[in-house]
Structure 1
């Protein structure tokens, strides 16, 4: 999805998400090849359930209690809508956003998920590299299976944030933050809702 600019071959150009969409359509129509991962958001859970061991699927798909908060969050998200603009050039869609004074090509960030060794042998390192390849900022969990340094190296020049479960010991907190800063993590995401663990079915 990414290319290089003519003026400076070493500088990656922003990802062209419109070209990627066209590539998917062309591949399906002309060659009968469908993408490995479904493009229907409503089928993602079923596809994940079929691909993952039950223990791994339950870890990522589960919510606390009766999942009421999770369901409410999903309904709230669905109330947002795209505003259609007619008779516009859509060959190069611009979907970038600016957060904390930094411009990102993608309006989507990869949320922090820990213990990714239960999903794939590449762990967080593989996901961080994939995010960097397609221009999506990666947020690393404190509970990651990979080390901060491994993820930093795998991310290359890709944007990366660090999510902190605040330890009880200040020395551990300082160590985590220092390592994250040294490894190129530019934003700190502080999680405040886990002072006590929730009941998870």
Structure 2
């Protein structure tokens, strides 16, 4: 895959990278990155949810001292965009997460590195330089391996752990299967190379491939209670959709929550993350740090998420599209566009800071298809 060393022509908004990625990715890889699981219903729902809301402009508001700064768990951030943990970024670009990390440093964006990254977490940290960085954790079948990942992340300067709990089973996307996608041999998990994989225990007669097979090592509450005191880093939980789960996790002492349906890659037919955001915010109160992951394609999308209760948002697929189209420069340009789009939306809505963005800034919107979302 050849990627230009300059910003590609025809990029006017961040979402344009989604269109351009098709020119730089083989069809099977594009289908895998763009798809979720099953019929991709939840992928579509994540995007459609933003169309249910309109931003209400305000007049004569003085925003000349406006900014996008946020403070999150004592960490000062210049803007509310995070680079989401996306596995196997070598699918999009040969420099993989190292290019993404360089873009994070150039834009002072917090990078969340995946357990399943193509490059080791230490190399990503080095490439990220001064950029803030968190480490996304999948609990490993061997607890010793999990402890080693935690120690490596802390030693490499990661300042938080993002524990993903909603991806024990990931069914294939029919669109990716139809395109013939298979993970290429060069896409290996750089962080797990030193850990010998555990041999799967054989199933007994009558056992389920799902319950006794795939779910054998799925996280349970005991695992969370073991993990929290095992690291000095704050632990966030990603994959929260149900308010009761949010309350229970808050009571358990996690540092914050990420409302997410794993980009539609976990349960096809799950509700849009944005749809569940207000209910989760109501469940945990105003002071619990809360992020949104799923469907962000513009600064206006981010504005709507902030208005509905998020403190910041994660950018996943758009990150991969920009990486495929123009490497580190593309990711940095995409983030710059998102920040400027958010600023333009804030200015016209009369919001001088993220703290000014409240639910009153939005109105229910009637889409062109009244059958999809009745007004």
TM range (shorter): 0.7 to 0.9
Following superposition of structure 1 onto structure 2, how do residues 47-196 of structure 1 map, counting pairs within 5 Å?
A: 47-79=20-52, 82=55, 84-88=57-61, 93-196=66-169
Report the 3-state secondary structure (helix = DSSP H, G, I; strand = E; otherwise coil) of the residue aligned with 2:134. strand
Relative to structure 1, is the Cα distance of residues 153 and 41 closer, same or farther in structure 2, using a 3 angstrom cutoff?
A: closer
Shift of 1:119: 1.2
Relative to structure 1, is the Cα distance of residues 81 and 166 closer, same or farther in structure 2, using a 3 angstrom cutoff?
A: farther
Relative to structure 1, is the Cα distance of residues 145 and 83 closer, same or farther in structure 2, using a 3 angstrom cutoff?
A: same
Per the normalisation by structure 2, the TM-score is 0.41
Relative to structure 1, is the Cα distance of residues 36 and 134 closer, same or farther in structure 2, using a 3 angstrom cutoff?
A: farther
Alpha-carbon distance between aligned partners in 2 of 1:84 and 1:121, rounded to the nearest angstrom: 43
Shift of 1:46: 1.9
Report the 3-state secondary structure (helix = DSSP H, G, I; strand = E; otherwise coil) of the residue aligned with 2:144. helix
Structure 2 gaps of 5+ residues are: 1-6, 175-375
Per the normalisation by structure 1, the TM-score is 0.74
Relative to structure 1, is the Cα distance of residues 63 and 141 closer, same or farther in structure 2, using a 3 angstrom cutoff?
A: same
Indicate if the aligned counterparts of 2:35 and 2:43 stay in contact, CA closer than 8 A.
no
Could you give the per-residue CA deviations for residues 76-122 of structure 1, whole angstroms, max 9, x where no partner exists?
A: 33445555454456566411222222121121111111111121111
Structure 1 gaps of 5+ residues are: 1-33
Shift of 1:48: 1.1
Alpha-carbon distance between aligned partners in 2 of 1:104 and 1:177, rounded to the nearest angstrom: 23
Shift of 1:183: 0.6
**More off after superposition, 177-186 vs 87-96:** 87-96
**More off after superposition, 38-47 vs 119-128:** 38-47
Report the 3-state secondary structure (helix = DSSP H, G, I; strand = E; otherwise coil) of the residue aligned with 2:131. coil
The structure, 1 or 2, with the larger RCO (C-alpha pairs under 8 Å, 6+ apart) is 2
Report the 3-state secondary structure (helix = DSSP H, G, I; strand = E; otherwise coil) of the residue aligned with 1:50. coil
CA root-mean-square deviation:
2.2
Aligned residues: 168
**More off after superposition, 70-79 vs 180-189:** 70-79
